[in-house]
């Protein structure tokens, strides 16, 4: 259970599908342009801690765009057909790593989607990562939102960075032995800068389109990051709605509306605007108020208008 070499596209819906019960996938060469020349794993999201503020519609990059459509969503659908604990999911991921054909020296990026939320899960994946390196693979690196609950020792030689949302989290993660990364609204500079006591290095792959993870390799040297107390910074990224949700996750995590879709947000905003101003808002006014792109607002308004016409017909 949990391993697969094949997937298919549903002819009627056009959706990508994996065999029922697929829990994890490993690919020998990532197609992600940011990662570069590395192997990687994709793991269904029951592997992730629910305490992550970006989880389940909260702005997680892995739920958006191409990755969300063709990997995360179909993987979650396939996995939902079976019962599996976080530890069992990790065992499936470990089996996938063991099945990889290793290109000598090629790094492995764990969890383009997914995480390990228990010590046993991290130990299973770390053991498979060690076997990958022993078979000739390069360094293994990843990020975790479960750093509060999982011991750094459970990750062994994996270059693991605690994913933080606030500077005070950085200090707490350092105290638990982790190197650190942090998500920010935007970079004030592309150079190293201080963020309330955290020394933040903006991710070079985000600030320079010619740089990839495998050409940069900063995150693959966690001893250096810990020694120099450096924290890798990542700007919120993804679709316009995804970035909006991520920003709310960082700045207003208790906002009850932060996971709502544009299908809900736009009509609600229009009604409120009409009540207050006696006219419909422009597309730009909606986009500005909701922090959603103009094109996304235009597309959704067209969909809503078409649905209204169909209902009225």
Q: pLDDT by residue (tens digit) across 222-264?
A: 999 999 999 999 998 777 777 888 888 888 888 888 878 888 8
Cα dihedral angle (67, 69, 71, 74), rounded to 10 degrees? 160
The answer to whether residue 247 is domain-embedded is no
Residues 192 and 265 both lie in one domain: no
Residues 169 and 278 both lie in one domain: no
Looking at residues 127-140, what average pLDDT do you find?
Answer: 98
Range of the domain at 195: 8-235
Asked if pLDDT for residue 15 goes beyond 80, the answer is no
State how far the Cα of 16 lies from the Cα of 67, in Å rounded to an integer: 11
Q: What is the pLDDT of residue 11?
A: 47
The answer to whether residue 38 is domain-embedded is yes
More confidently predicted of 61 and 113: 113
Residues 223 and 267 both lie in one domain: no
Asked which of 185, 201, 235 is the last residue of a domain, the reply is: 235
- Counting the structural domains of the chain, the total is 2
State how far the Cα of 270 lies from the Cα of 2, in Å rounded to an integer: 45
Residues 54 and 140 both lie in one domain: yes
Q: pTM of this prediction? A: 0.83
Residues 141 and 178 both lie in one domain: yes
Conformational region of residue 84, where left means phi above 0, alpha means psi within -120 to 50, and beta covers everything else: beta
Residues 190 and 307 both lie in one domain: no
The answer to whether residue 245 is domain-embedded is no
The answer to whether residue 48 is domain-embedded is yes
Q: What is the pLDDT of residue 9?
A: 52
The answer to whether residue 92 is domain-embedded is yes
The answer to whether residue 1 is domain-embedded is no
Asked if pLDDT for residue 14 goes beyond 60, the answer is no
State how far the Cα of 114 lies from the Cα of 92, in Å rounded to an integer: 12
Residues 177 and 305 both lie in one domain: no
Residues 14 and 153 both lie in one domain: yes
Residues 231 and 265 both lie in one domain: no
Residues 274 and 210 both lie in one domain: no
Residues 179 and 298 both lie in one domain: no
With bands split at pLDDT 50, 70 and 90, how would you rate the model's confidence at 3? very low
Q: What is the pLDDT of residue 241?
A: 76
Asked if pLDDT for residue 125 goes beyond 50, the answer is yes
The answer to whether residue 3 is domain-embedded is no
User: Most confidently modeled of 1-15, 33-47, 64-78?
Assistant: 33-47
The answer to whether residue 145 is domain-embedded is yes
Q: What is the pLDDT of residue 4?
A: 43
């Amino acid at each position: 259970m949990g391993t697969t070499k094949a997937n298919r596209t549903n002819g009627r819906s056009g959706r990508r599908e994996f065999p029922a019960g697929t829990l994890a996938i490993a690919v020998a060469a990532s197609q992600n342009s940011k990662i570069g020349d590395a192997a990687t794993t994709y793991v269904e999201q029951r592997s992730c801690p629910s305490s992550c503020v970006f989880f389940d519609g909260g702005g997680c990059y892995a739920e958006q765009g191409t990755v969300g459509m063709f990997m995360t969503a179909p993987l979650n659908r396939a996995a939902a057909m079976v019962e599996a604990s976080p530890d069992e999911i990790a065992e499936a991921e470990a089996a996938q790593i063991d099945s990889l054909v290793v290109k000598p020296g090629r790094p492995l990026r764990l969890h383009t989607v997914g995480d390990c939320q228990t010590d046993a899960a991290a130990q299973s994946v770390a053991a498979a990562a060690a076997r990958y390196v022993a078979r000739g693979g390069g360094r293994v690196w990843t990020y975790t939102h479960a750093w509060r609950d999982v011991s750094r020792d459970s990750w062994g030689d994996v270059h693991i960075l605690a994913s933080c949302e606030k500077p005070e989290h950085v200090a707490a993660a350092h105290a638990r032995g982790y190197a650190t990364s942090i998500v920010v609204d935007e970079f004030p500079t592309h150079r190293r800068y201080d963020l309330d006591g955290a020394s933040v290095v903006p991710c070079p792959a985000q600030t320079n389109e010619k740089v990839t993870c495998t050409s940069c390799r900063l995150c693959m040297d966690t001893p250096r990051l810990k020694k120099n107390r450096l924290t890798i910074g990542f700007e919120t990224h993804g679709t316009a709605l995804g970035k909006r949700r991520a920003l709310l996750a960082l700045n207003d995590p208790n906002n009850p509306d932060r996971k709502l879709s544009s299908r809900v947000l736009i009509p609600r905003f229009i009604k409120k605007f009409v009540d207050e101003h006696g006219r419909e808002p422009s597309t730009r006014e909606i986009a500005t108020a909701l922090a959603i792109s103009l094109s996304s607002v235009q597309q959704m308004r067209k969909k809503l208008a078409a649905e209204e016409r169909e209902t009225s017909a």
